[in-house]
Chain A
Amino acid sequence: MLTPVTDADGAPFWEYAARGELRVQACADCGEPRFPPRPCCPHCRSFASEWRPVPGRGRVWSYVVPHPPLLPGYAEQAPYNVVVVELAEHPRIRLVGNVVAHAGARLDSVDPGRLRIGARVRAVFSGGLPQWVLA
């Protein structure tokens, strides 16, 4: 399985995720959240940023169900779902992830037939990655 190849801007996201916290980068001057992380605020051009805790509630914006050929670790769990989740508090912040039966469950642990665009989901954490369960 692939682990995130982080960069300086993205590393805090993964450090918080490893502690079971969902945080997004926000401008420390104008307060606008932004994703993916980057050095400078595109709204006010401030270089000051902070990592703001978010409650981890969202809705499915879209989803796909990949089938092989896939990398071995993924092929073994296919077909599975990959979702884009729109955060309830910040609808323009969308996170790619997987809807699973419970934290740490396999990628194919939820029947893709149960997924719908607009479905409510809640963040859980496993192995340093945020995952989502149906709320």
Chain B
Amino acid sequence: MAAPGRAPGIKDAVAIVGIGQTAFARRLAEDERTLACRAVLAALDDAGIAPGEVDALASYTMEDTDEVELAKAVGFGDLTFFGKVGYGGGGSCATVAHLAAAIACGQATVGVAWRSRKRGSGPRPWTNTTAQLPTPAQWTRPFGLLRPADEVAMLARRYMHEYGVTRDHLFNVALACRNRANQNPAAVMYDRPLTREMYMTSRWISEPLCLYDNCLETDGALACVVVGRERARDCRQRPVYVHAAAQGLPAQHHGMVNYWTDDPLTGPAWTAARHLWRQSDLTPRDVDVAQIYDAFTPLIPLSLEGYGFCARGEGGAFTERGALETGGRLPVNTGGGGLGEAYVHGFNLITEGVKQLRGTSTAQVPGAATCLVTAGEDVPTSALLLRS
């Protein structure tokens, strides 16, 4: 039943039926547009759907390949829905949410979402000293708070101070992601194990965050195909249903430098989670596996709290005793995540969620039937609850 005053919604109305990706590496020879085309065509081939049938596109900002270029290059049909979600890594799951809404209400029939980046070999946004910066930068960058790592480290220090979260807790996060990457031949860190000593003696990036608290810098592209549930039954792969989807931009939020709300440690994840669970037949206890946005390790304990896997302030303790590892209380980022597989603004978390529910992950959770996927915490965010 829909909540009072709400439309019936998109519950299980659409499914992800195709996923595709390029190789991931620090440096790939091809340009972003070429990589985008390859990932999109691979996803359509996986679904068994011809490019000419695509009539909807969704992407998120900091994506240089636009709809016109992609549609022209791979030969899409006439498009009747296209949209771009803001706020970088917060937009990953929202792309699928927007396609789901468009398809569920009849604006389109076959949707494609994608992400292509050359962040490994290309420029990093924070190194730009000349372009007009977004307004909030006037309050931070002159003081040397320059990079996303610095901005998140500020919240992390406060979080550690308030709740006794330690570097060992952050190491637990880094280790779980790395261990899963060590099982995934496509991961950038496939053959690079991590130890506690490596973590504790690594160089600082922005204290209290060290090298291994930061995601990789990666070249690569991914895509997925979304169709209505009727159509999904005829596709090549087992459908993965979008059970619930949500975006979250909390009142008085200020982006990654969310230091000015009454309670900066309850960020967009809390807002997205409230809407996600309200639409869902499931609770956090029903989630078999989770793909949680991990541009920086502290985002995972904060998200565990926000999405209701533990109480406020318990995100650090939750990571103890192998809880995030295969066989633990909540296996996370089973492809290796942004910390171990590839940092492609979180899109690999969506495709890994699909792999888990197809039963084809390289770190398969036996019998996984439900998967939470999240976009970046600290920025206006989004999330998907997938089920087989």
Q: Does B140 contact A (CB under 8 A)?
A: yes
Q: Which one, B137, B146, B254, contacts A66 given CB within 8 A?
A: B146
In the complex, which residues of chain B have a beta carbon less than 8 angstroms from the beta carbon of A98?
A: 143-144
Contacts of A12 in B (CB 8 A): none
Residue in B141, B144, B204, B205 whose CB lies within 8 Å of A80: B144
B281 at interface, CB cutoff 8 A: no
How many residues in A have their beta carbons less than 8 Å from beta carbons of B? 39
A66 near B138 with CB under 8 A, answer: no
Contact A129 B142 (CB under 8 A): yes
Closest-by-CB residue of B relative to A132 is: B143
A129 engages B143 (CB within 8 Å): yes
Per-position contact with A for B116-159: 1 when CB-CB < 8 Å, else 0?
Answer: 00000000000101001101111111111111011001110110
- Is B147 a contact partner of A66 (Cβ separation < 8 A)? yes
Given contacts A71-B129, A96-B143, contact A35 B207 (CB under 8 A): no
Name the interface residues of A18-38: CB closer than 8 Å to any CB of B: 35-36
Given the complex of chains A and B, what is the CA–CA distance between A10 and B142 in angstroms? 14
Q: What residues of chain B lie closer than 8 Å to A61, measured between beta carbons?
A: 158, 259
- Bound CA–CA A3/B147 (angstroms): 16
Instruction: Tell me if A's interface is mostly helix, strand, loop or mixed.
Output: loop
B158 touches A107 (CB 8 A): no
- Other-chain residue from B138, B154, B254 in contact with A5 (beta carbon distance below 8 A): B138
Asked if residues B206 and A67 are in contact (CB atoms below 8 Å), the reply is yes
Does residue A135 face the partner (Cβ distance < 8 Å to B)?
no
**Among A4, A42, A71, A80, contact of B138 (Cβ-Cβ < 8 Å):** A4
Could you say which of B157, B205, B262 contacts A117, with CB atoms under 8 Å apart? Answer: B157
CB–CB A36/B129 < 8 A: no
Is B257 an interface residue when CB atoms closer than 8 A count as contact?
Answer: yes
Q: Are A36 and B139 in contact (CB under 8 A)?
A: yes
Q: Which residues of A contact B204 (CB under 8 A)?
A: 65, 67, 79
Pairs of residues from A and B, 4 with the lowest C-beta to C-beta distance, nearest first: A65-B207, A62-B158, A4-B138, A64-B153
Q: Which residues of B contact A (CB under 8 A)?
A: 127, 129, 132-133, 135-147, 149-150, 153-155, 157-158, 161, 203-208, 252, 254, 257, 259-260, 262
